[in-house]
A and B are shown apart, each in its own frame.
Chain A
Amino acid sequence: MENLLISLAQNLFPIFGLLAVGGAALMVASRQAVHSVLGFLFAMLCVAGCFLTLEAEFLGIAQLLVYAGGIVVLFLFVVMLVELTKYKEKDIFQKQTKVALLAVAGGLLVVGGALRNALFGPAAKEALTLRPEITNGAVLGNAQAVSRGLFADFLLPFEILSIILLVALVGAVVLAKTERV
């Protein structure tokens, strides 16, 4: 009993990972747009589970809050409001299979090349941490460690990123705005 539970607990990460891949496959394969969104939601929840098994509970919950709770709801909104049935005859989604496969293969090459060392090379000598010397070795909770990284170590890049998001937002409003006098 004990050993079974321990082995189950140790294998939670691959279980969640495979489930996430399954959700992603459902999203791509399903013909009904709302089912796609459901598959995406499932994949996002499983990714949150992956984070939790890696003891990154803040990231896991943030994943849940931001993706599952916010972004996918917006997707669902758009999918439900845009009538996809009228595109069915035009067959636009099925025509691009070859192009899509080529693009995916190219993307895989690039990502695989970039991650080749990480995947097949020797393991890292030191674990990646958020500069523990700042906290003088004090053990912090996950949320505190992440916020230390965001608001102390990498404050400037973080703020610049938020400005980029703001620019994108303003750009979207400008593009979507109809001309009014």
Chain B
Amino acid sequence: MPMTLTQTVVMALIQIVVLLAVIMAVVPIITFAERKVIGYVQVRLGATRIAGGHVGITGPINRAMWALGRVPVFSILRGLPIFMADGLKLLTKEDVIPEKADKLVFILAPAICMVPAFAVFAAITFFPGAEGLFTFPASFPIVGGLKFMGFLTDINVGLLYILGVASVGVYGIVLGGWASNSKYPLLGGLRSAAQIVSYEVPLSMSLLVPVLLVGSLSFRELSVKLATEMPLVAAVPLFLGFFFYLTCGFAETNRVPFDLAEAETELVSGFHTEYTGMKMGFFFLAEYANMIVVSAIAAAFFLGGHYLLPFGLQSQLIHALGAGHALNQPSILFFVGKVGFLLFVFLWIRATLPRYRYDQLMHVGWKFLIPVTLVNLFIAAAIKFVWM
């Protein structure tokens, strides 16, 4: 059934609201998980033993576990209210603009950072099936009887769109650093711009491997065909490319070990030193939204996306069991699980690895990652030439 323009627009608005609500709900959960994961990895007493009080509903269980010499199980969820307090603090804190700052740019910078970070979600496919996630009942006004698809749009240059829009996000960091009119933010902004521009090259190069193997730029087509139509050898470049892509993704999102833009020991807090309140919160939201995007791309292109097995191995399973088998059906749960695992990897690495020095960062980017991603691209091209 062809949709009228009104239906298309209303449907898109509904999807956008749902998507935004999900992101806004997931980001605080990630920050909570960050405290907990890093707390457990680094044996931090505050984050791991905040729980286990001797009173309350869980008191008896906690007392029993302490008596057994174990940290109570419910301590995993304790401290959950802290993230609400965090959000409230960000919202209500006084919004300070430095006197010598460039006011217009200072206010624009967090928005420039956040808008691209959210806009890229438009091209991400969360569920590829044409049947959609659910159908609106016919009694609904305007959108009655329409399907709620697992993706917002499926443009035929989806991957390029993601790369292009994400590359605009760097302005927020650079301009925020510059507009603060203070030396550490400026240094942080410049570092981050150089870093992001440099790492965009190997990032694009590692993403070219899936594009080359499939011969399309549409996110949906890429994620489905990479899982279901690959020969066995294609697992080699996909496996290598996954690690290259993830490394570049860490650099693109300014996360440890590449968080040179906000290296506390050198730059106070980098580009957002002068920011307070919700403006700082916008930078924060953008960073976490970018983490989700990087994880979603890695999950969709390298880890098999909406199917069970990673690196294109699902096609072998389809050969073995037939396309109708239950294990060969796409599911949004697989996708969400993979994204969740990759987000955990972000936190895991933050808890484990020390920060790189700036010259090491540039060496890794230009002298190691670009050559190896090129070689990987050659391997993929050879596979495409011989086996496909």
Bound Cα distance A101, B53 (Å) = 77
B265 located at the interface, meaning its Cβ lies under 8 Å from any Cβ of chain A in the complex: no
For A77, list chain B residues within 8 Å (CB). 174, 190, 193-194
**Partner of A57 from B157, B197, B200 at Cβ < 8 Å:** B157
A168 located at the interface, meaning its Cβ lies under 8 Å from any Cβ of chain B in the complex: no
**Given A34-B102, A70-B197, do A64 and B174 touch, yes or no (CB 8 Å)?**
no
Bound Cα distance A35, B102 (Å) = 10
Instruction: Give B159's nearest chain A residue, CB to CB.
Output: A61
Instruction: Give A68's nearest chain B residue, CB to CB.
Output: B168
B313 located at the interface, meaning its Cβ lies under 8 Å from any Cβ of chain A in the complex: no
B167:A68 contact, CB within 8 angstroms: yes
B170 located at the interface, meaning its Cβ lies under 8 Å from any Cβ of chain A in the complex: yes
Bound Cα distance A8, B354 (Å) = 52
**Which has the most chain B C-beta neighbours within 10 Å: A45, A58, A65?**
A65
Instruction: Give B169's nearest chain A residue, CB to CB.
Output: A69
User: For chain B residues 1-36, which have a beta carbon within 8 Å of chain A?
Assistant: 4-6, 9
B164:A73 contact, CB within 8 angstroms: no
Bound Cα distance A119, B363 (Å) = 52
A145: min CB distance to chain B, Å: 11
**Partner of A34 from B9, B175, B190, B197 at Cβ < 8 Å:** B175
For A1, list chain B residues within 8 Å (CB). 6
B77 located at the interface, meaning its Cβ lies under 8 Å from any Cβ of chain A in the complex: no
For B175, list chain A residues within 8 Å (CB). 34, 38, 76
A32:B174 contact, CB within 8 angstroms: no
B242 located at the interface, meaning its Cβ lies under 8 Å from any Cβ of chain A in the complex: no
User: For chain B residues 121-147, which have a beta carbon within 8 Å of chain A?
Assistant: none
A163 located at the interface, meaning its Cβ lies under 8 Å from any Cβ of chain B in the complex: no
B116: min CB distance to chain A, Å: 10
Bound Cα distance A48, B168 (Å) = 13
For A81, list chain B residues within 8 Å (CB). 190
B386: min CB distance to chain A, Å: 21
B192: min CB distance to chain A, Å: 11
For A41, list chain B residues within 8 Å (CB). 171
B248: min CB distance to chain A, Å: 15
- Encode contact with B along A34-69: 1 for CB under 8 Å, 0 otherwise: 110010010001001000000001100110110011
**Partner of B160 from A45, A65, A70, A80 at Cβ < 8 Å:** A65
Bound Cα distance A179, B179 (Å) = 37
B352 located at the interface, meaning its Cβ lies under 8 Å from any Cβ of chain A in the complex: no
B157:A2 contact, CB within 8 angstroms: no
A141 located at the interface, meaning its Cβ lies under 8 Å from any Cβ of chain B in the complex: yes
B6:A62 contact, CB within 8 angstroms: no
**Which has the most chain B C-beta neighbours within 10 Å: A6, A35, A38, A70?**
A38
For B174, list chain A residues within 8 Å (CB). 73, 76-77, 80
B317 located at the interface, meaning its Cβ lies under 8 Å from any Cβ of chain A in the complex: no
B225: min CB distance to chain A, Å: 15
A9 located at the interface, meaning its Cβ lies under 8 Å from any Cβ of chain B in the complex: yes
A142 located at the interface, meaning its Cβ lies under 8 Å from any Cβ of chain B in the complex: yes
B217 located at the interface, meaning its Cβ lies under 8 Å from any Cβ of chain A in the complex: yes
A65:B164 contact, CB within 8 angstroms: yes
Instruction: Give B167's nearest chain A residue, CB to CB.
Output: A69
User: For chain A residues 1-52, which have a beta carbon within 8 Å of chain B?
Assistant: 1-2, 5-6, 9, 32, 34-35, 38, 41, 45, 48
A143 located at the interface, meaning its Cβ lies under 8 Å from any Cβ of chain B in the complex: yes
Bound Cα distance A142, B160 (Å) = 12
- Encode contact with A along B178-209: 1 for CB under 8 Å, 0 otherwise: 11000000100010011001001000000000
A142: min CB distance to chain B, Å: 7
Instruction: Give B177's nearest chain A residue, CB to CB.
Output: A80
The 3 A-B pairs of least Cβ separation, nearest first, read A69-B167, A64-B164, A65-B164
Residues of A within 8 A of B (CB): 1-2, 5-6, 9, 32, 34-35, 38, 41, 45, 48, 57-58, 61-62, 64-65, 68-70, 72-74, 76-77, 80-81, 141-143
In the complex, given contacts A32-B102, A69-B200, what are 12 additional A-B residue pairs having Cβ atoms less than 8 angstroms apart? A6-B5, A34-B105, A34-B178, A35-B104, A35-B105, A38-B175, A57-B157, A64-B164, A69-B168, A73-B174, A73-B197, A141-B157
Could you list 14 A-B pairs, sorted by A, with CB under 8 Å? A6-B5, A45-B168, A48-B164, A57-B155, A61-B160, A61-B161, A64-B165, A65-B164, A68-B164, A68-B167, A68-B168, A77-B174, A77-B190, A80-B174
